[in-house]
Amino acid sequence: MTKEFAATTPNTPLDVAIIGAGFAGMYMLHRLRRAGFAVRVVELGPDVGGTWYWNRYPGARCDVESLQYSYSFDEGIQQDWTWTERFATQPEILRYANFVADRLDLRRDIQFGVRITSGRFDTTANQWVLETDSGTAIHARQVITAVGCLSTANVPQIAGMESFEGQTIHTSDWPRDGVNLSGKRVAIIGTGSTAIQAIPEIARQAGHLTVFQRTPNFSVPARNAPLTPETVDWWKKNYPDLRKKARETMRSGTIYDLPTRPAIGTDPADVRAELEARWQKGGANFAYAFSDLIFDETANAMAAEFVRDKIRSIVHDPETAEALCPKDYPIFCKRICVDSDYFATFNRPNVSLVNLRQTPLERITSKGVQTTDQEHEFDVIIYATGFDAITGSLLRLNLTGTQGRTLKEKWADGPKAYLGLATSEFPNLFMITGPGSPSVLSNVLVSIEQHVEFLSDLMEHIRSHGITRIETTAKDEEDWAHHVTEVAHTTLYPKAASWYMGANIPGKPRVFMPYIGVDAYRKKCAEVAAQGYVGFQMNGADAVAHASAG
């Protein structure tokens, strides 16, 4: 039964409206409610879970180990939930989200099935007015977006798409009742992490699976396995230290076996032995084999060649193997994929690869996919074409700031946000895992907790000082954006045309969006808070003067 929510009005606004009920929105709600704020979450979907609610494609899993991809803020939750596999499946993660929502009784303050269609900041009342598709506006003093970084699908514009007479599915909007692929002729377009997880599973179900690949990806084996009770117990017992280590000392917010030496200067045989050991161990730990892999092109090339050799040794058909080998960008500069049997799947008789570099995709027909050399006929076409990452879901909110510009207009040349948390002209608006924060280059649960805790402290600060309007400055966000770019350019990341750069969306500005370094970022935020939230200008009853970070 849908709960009725009290109307908000300019005279009875919420203290805080949160947009999104994924892991970020859930924890933000819990923190603010506990601190006594009048708060409500508005969520488009019918239940909690965010990306894990929607991404139900076969094989969907988290590529961060489950014992680390979970909340740490509540010892009871941490101890009472038990993960079953090294890398959790989507259904298990969604069960976890529901477990937390039940335990903290979150749903009573979540309005489900409502889309924010637009929003504007009322400069007289110093509050946001969010318009919804239900026709009822939501008034709130502060708005916090928790819309996720990978939640607006990239549906490519391919001629003839609407003419296909079979079933069309995007992996991020997989039908909740599942899809019977048994015996069917199935196409999958895309070979990013999603497809790399889905392809082995779909190949087991489909009559025939044809993979349309434009750019091959680097992938390492997950070596997924059930967790033993001993492993789980050890983690639970040591959680306080382990969580602290992940938060404060790891670039990614995930505990990996950190490198002890650079690849350059190490005997090549030792380099290969170390890479082999990590390949056998499985997971993204592979990326941390040497300290210079992400900084030095020669070192990086050694790891890339190691993976290409693995592909060549796994895939029987030499032409297919070569087509699956990424060659034109450094390894680790697009998200490293973590798979279960991906490359071996191409040895199956019911799987074929179409190399779109050789025979480009021309259009979708009523029967299937037309490439430059032939028409391929299908019953189902699956688009595993990714997301309008990091900014897509923020821009879709259609928010207008104090200068009459929408966020999309303001960010026409790329997003600029102070600490990835706030942007000038948009007072009283904060973003969890926004552009310029570690977001997708981190264990996102760790980043979410850090943002939520920073923002709840900030909300308490402004409440106690009677602040009614808080806004960052153009200079502070400019300086931060410059710093984000500067840090990125100390690495090889910008050398790949990745979705970190916006390169997967035609017309999207090419700006490196995530901040590299969970540990450094956390320190910076703590300093900002300790200095009275330097970089934010605040006005209100106390008229507290806050200096600019510049």
Among 72, 126, 152, 194, which residue interacts with ligand NA7 (rule: CB under 6 A)? Answer: 194
Is residue 68 a contact point for ligand NA7 (CB under 6 A)? no
Retrieve residue 85's tokens.
Answer: 């596999």
Residue whose structure tokens are 């969580």: 243
Indicate whether 386 belongs to the interface with ligand NA7 (CB under 6 A): yes
Does 384 sit near ligand NA7 (CB under 6 A)?
yes
Closest to 280 in 3D by CA, of 345, 220, 343, 200: 220
In contact, 336 and 440? CB cutoff 8 Å: no
The answer to whether residue 376 forms part of the interface with ligand NA7 (CB under 6 A) is no
Backbone dihedral angles phi then psi of residue 247, each to the nearest 5 degrees: -70, -45
Interface pattern 343-372 for ligand NA7 (x via CB under 6 A): -------------x----x-----------
DSSP annotation of 89: B
Alpha helices in 400-466 (DSSP H): 407-410, 444-464
Cα–Cα nearest to 68, from 339, 228, 252, 216: 252
The minimum distance between CB 503 and ligand NA7, in angstroms, equals 8
In the DSSP assignment, the letter for residue 200 is H
Partnered with residue 83 across adjacent β-strands are none
**Could you say whether residue 148 binds ligand NA7 (CB under 6 A)?**
no
- Whether residue 315 contacts residue 347, with contact meaning beta carbons closer than 8 Å, is answered with yes
State which of residues 18, 195, 206, 287 lies at the interface with ligand NA7 (CB under 6 A). Answer: 195
**Which neighbouring-strand residues pair with 549?**
none
Establish if 8 lies at the interface with ligand NA7 (CB under 6 A): no
The amino acid at residue 305 is: E
Q: Is 335 in the site for ligand NA7 (CB under 6 A)?
A: yes
Q: State which residue, 173 or 478, has the beta carbon closest to ligand NA7.
A: 173
Residue among 21, 26, 114, 150 that touches ligand NA7 (CB under 6 A): 150
Q: Enumerate residues 6+ apart whose C-beta is below 8 A from 324.
A: 213, 216, 311, 315, 343, 346, 353
Q: Does 210 bind ligand NA7 (CB under 6 A)?
A: no
Q: Tell me if 155 contacts ligand NA7 by CB under 6 A.
A: no
Is residue 438 at the binding interface for ligand NA7, with CB under 6 A as the rule? Answer: no
Q: What separation, in Å, do the N-terminal and C-terminal C-alpha atoms of the chain show?
A: 51
Selected from 98, 167, 168, 215, the binder of ligand NA7 by CB under 6 A is 215
385 part of the interface to ligand NA7, by CB under 6 A: yes
Instruction: Give the other-Cβ count within 10 Å of 184's Cβ.
Output: 18
Cα–Cα distance for residue pair 258/522, rounded to 1 Å:
19
Nearer to ligand NA7 by Cβ, of 50 and 386: the residue is 386
Residue nearest to ligand NA7 (CB): 192
DSSP per residue over 479-534, as a string? HHHHHHHHHHTTSSGGGS--GGGTTTSTT------S-S-HHHHHHHHHHHHHTTST
Q: In the bound complex, what is the minimum distance in angstroms from residue 464's beta carbon to ligand NA7? A: 38
Cross-strand partners of 337: 219
Q: Are 466 and 542 a contacting pair, CB within 8 Å? A: yes
CB of 80 to ligand NA7, least distance (A): 28
Q: Which stretch binds ligand NA7 (CB under 6 A): 86-94, 106-114, 176-184, 211-219?
A: 211-219
Residue 212 CB, shortest distance to ligand NA7, in Å, is 6
Contact region with ligand NA7 (CB under 6 A), list: 83-91, 318-326, 380-388, 407-415 = 380-388
Q: Closest approach of Cβ 390 to ligand NA7, in Å? A: 11
Among 378, 499, 512, 515, binds ligand NA7 (CB under 6 A): 499
Q: Does 16 bind ligand NA7 (CB under 6 A)?
A: no
Which of 404, 361, 368, 371 is CA-nearest to residue 158?
361
Stretch that binds ligand NA7, among 212-220, 276-284, 342-350, 464-472 (CB under 6 A): 212-220
Q: How far is the CB of 380 from ligand NA7 (least distance, A)?
A: 16
Amino acid making up residue 95? R
Strand partners, 167: 380
Residue among 110 and 187 whose Cβ is closer to ligand NA7 = 187
Which amino acid appears at position 377 of this protein?
E
Kindly state the smallest distance separating residue 110's Cβ from ligand NA7, in Å. Answer: 24
Both tokens assigned to 65: 């180990």
Of 54, 24, 57, 61, nearest to 41 (Cα)?
Answer: 24
Which of residues 142 and 193 has its CB atom nearest to ligand NA7 in the complex?
A: 193
* Nearer of residues 140 and 149 to ligand NA7, judged by Cβ: 149
330 binds ligand NA7 (CB under 6 A): no
Choose, by CB under 6 A, the member of 181, 504, 525, 549 that binds ligand NA7. Answer: 504
Which positions lie near ligand NA7, rule CB under 6 A? 150, 156, 158, 189-195, 212, 214-215, 335, 356, 361, 384-387, 499, 504
